[in-house]
Amino acid sequence: MSLTRIDLPLEKLTQPRTEDDIQEALARERARLQAMMGMDSRPVRHFQRPVERPFSAQERNKVTILFGGLTWKHERVIQAVFEGCGYKCEILPVPDVAGFQLGKEYGNNGQCNPTYFTVGNLVKFLQSLQSRGLTKQEIIDNFVFFTAGSCGPCRFGMYESEYRLALQNAGFDGFRVLLFQQNDGVKAASGEAGLKFTVDFGVGMLNALNLGDIMHEMIYRIRPYEVEKGKTDKVFQASIDTLCTMLRERKPFEDHEDLPEWMSSRIKEHKGEKWEICVNSLLKVREQLYGNPYKDALQAVRDQLATIEVDRLRVKPIVKIIGEFWAQTTEGDGNFHMFDFLEREGAQVLVEPIATWIMYMMYQVKARAAARRALDAPYKNPHWWELHKLAKNELKFKQKQWMIGVGERIYARQYHRVVEGLGDIAHHLIDQKEMAEMANPFYNEFARGGEGHLEVGKNVYYTKHRLCHMVLALKPFGCMPSSQSDGVQSAVANHFKEMIFLPIETSGEGEINAHSRVQMALGEAKVKARAEFEQVLQSTGKRLDDIKDYVAEHPELRNLFYPVPQREGVTGIAANFVLHVSDLMNGKARIQRISPPATATLSPAAA
């Protein structure tokens, strides 16, 4: 088909063209093309998103909500919140290669790796229900899938339609997919009455995410140093049970029941009025975040964890994991079981919390608003004497900054409260502004999609602050944003000569190849960690055996929660520990007394 010029009457060609001229020419051209394609005689049928059968409140008792894709720690506590709010809920198995193959079989071509893994994993689970004797109709009627959604710009925007397509192709047409949209910030988009985003549910999920994140980091922080092999896993299982019991069984706060009698009787008279709903919601939030059940559960978990004895004199390279959200989170075939592999090879893994992503989204809203300040102002280019216009512009801008700023502070505050409540050994959240500034010379903070500038920012941040010996980027096959940042990382690595950085592309195959590449880079990191340790030990002027003897005589130093100061420029746990023990031996520091577990109640499995 050849393109033709958009014609205008001759006299108009010599005059400046107006908007009307352009519209007129466009209409004529559209009519010509429609006639050419035979579309002028047919009614126009635009694409409509398929109308899905709603998940109604009446179904709540019989329909099971399926979800997955995070770590077992996150999933268990999230499940407990669902159950505590009255939902039936089941966790999908960790996505594996068989699921990946099903995703390829039933999904579109050219998708990224996490799409195949997660979509195929759902199909695989539904097929397993069938093999247990359920009919397709029973599965469609009695299960729904809950997942995050987005508008892109990467393939994350296609997940919802990919789920629907694969389900349709696999014979589960009509299976319901409920979405939690992330593109508009942290806004719930499911309008389904069956799944209600109440205050208890929302704050419960916030608690669950924080607890999942921190427990996830702590298990990788502790296990490489455990004295008794296998103890960490057992204790963490029991600790997650404790948290789940609290999240599932805590009674939701109600003002007319839980306030003192003289108040609750008055409140009963006004139940359902706007101010009462508002007050009740605020008190619910307070009780969820600061109430005794929460504090007691944190204390109980801390006591349970305190039963793990650690040996901090093991020299281990710290490997910081970065990469695409799903690939850096999953603990299975989706990233070649990379965390287990690294630990087996003698490394300490530093994982990434989901909270970083949430803080990134809030930071992005603020930064974009700042960049678009003049564009979004109610009054464009006011003169300097038009003070009321200038004031209104300023107010509009500041309102958004304050609102998001408050959100950031509350979120970070809650996160750090849980870190402290669980013994203060997990990391605090990174300042997003600082990370963006570090990434900006290499990767613009407004280049959206996937992890955006985070991969580059984290690589620079952890290297500059000497928080790890090696950075491992896990990026899925076919991931658009990760391919972009991969290109940039070579410039970053050239800039920081001491950096050990390895990008690994994850897919449904090639595990041995990936492990062998990691082994090579890890070899360098081990040398780096060992050299740091030897240098530090030498600087103390002490023999390692003397340090060991001192530690053997002081059980506090084998306590998991003993606070070892982190020295500027010293990365390894063992190196920092040796410096501290040396100070203790020289009388430059005093041993911190750690109170024994007060209420350690281990389940029989962990005892």
**Residue 156 C-beta: closest distance to ligand SF4, Å:** 4
Binding window for ligand SF4 (CB under 6 A); candidates: 119-127, 252-260, 293-301, 477-485: 477-485
Backbone angles phi, psi at 95, to 5 degrees: -60, 135
Give the CB-nearest residue to ligand SF4.
450
Residue 323 binds ligand SF4 (CB under 6 A): no
**Residue 355 C-beta: closest distance to ligand SF4, Å:** 18
Residue 418 binds ligand SF4 (CB under 6 A): no
Residue from 232, 330, 393, 482 in contact with ligand SF4 (CB under 6 A): 482
Instruction: For the segment 352-391, give every residue that binds ligand SF4 (CB under 6 A).
Output: none
Bridge partners, residue 449, by sequence? none
Binding window for ligand SF4 (CB under 6 A); candidates: 198-206, 219-227, 476-484, 525-533: 476-484
**Residue 147 C-beta: closest distance to ligand SF4, Å:** 12
Closest CA to 211 of 185, 245, 234: 245
Cα–Cα distance for residue pair 187/404, rounded to 1 Å: 13
Bridge partners, residue 559, by sequence? 309
Closest CA to 76 of 212, 207, 195: 212
DSSP SS3 for 226: strand
Number of residues that bind ligand SF4 (CB under 6 A): 13
Tokens of 527: 């040398």
Residue 501 binds ligand SF4 (CB under 6 A): no
Instruction: For the segment 145-204, give every residue that binds ligand SF4 (CB under 6 A).
Output: 154-156
**Residue 448 C-beta: closest distance to ligand SF4, Å:** 10
Residue 69 binds ligand SF4 (CB under 6 A): no
Return the number of the residue (210 or 482) whose C-beta is nearest ligand SF4.
Answer: 482
Return the number of the residue (149 or 202) whose C-beta is nearest ligand SF4.
Answer: 149
**Residue 362 C-beta: closest distance to ligand SF4, Å:** 19
Residue 222 binds ligand SF4 (CB under 6 A): no
Q: Identify whether the C-beta of residue 425 lies closer than 8 Å to the C-beta of residue 221.
A: yes
Residue 471 binds ligand SF4 (CB under 6 A): no
**Residue 79 C-beta: closest distance to ligand SF4, Å:** 24
Residue 99 binds ligand SF4 (CB under 6 A): no
DSSP SS3 for 525: helix
Which DSSP string do the residues of 148-203 spell out, in sequence order? EE---SSGGGGHHHHHHHHHHHTT-TT-EEEEEE-TTSS------TTS---HHHHH
**Residue 482 C-beta: closest distance to ligand SF4, Å:** 6
Residue 479 binds ligand SF4 (CB under 6 A): yes
| Contacts for 486 with CB less than 8 Å, ≥ 6 apart | 473, 475, 503
Q: Identify whether the C-beta of residue 194 lies closer than 8 Å to the C-beta of residue 61.
A: no
Strand 176-181 to strand 143-149: parallel, antiparallel, or no bridges (unpaired)? parallel
Q: How far is CA 324 from CA 477, 486, 518, 546, in A?
A: 10, 11, 17, 44
Binding pattern for the stretch 117-156 against ligand SF4, x by CB under 6 A and - elsewhere:
-------------------------------------xxx
Instruction: For the segment 426-465, give every residue that binds ligand SF4 (CB under 6 A).
Output: 450
Strand 143-149 to strand 88-91: parallel, antiparallel, or no bridges (unpaired)? unpaired
User: Where on the chain is the footprint of ligand SF4 (CB under 6 A)?
Assistant: 112, 114, 154-156, 324, 326, 450, 476, 479-482
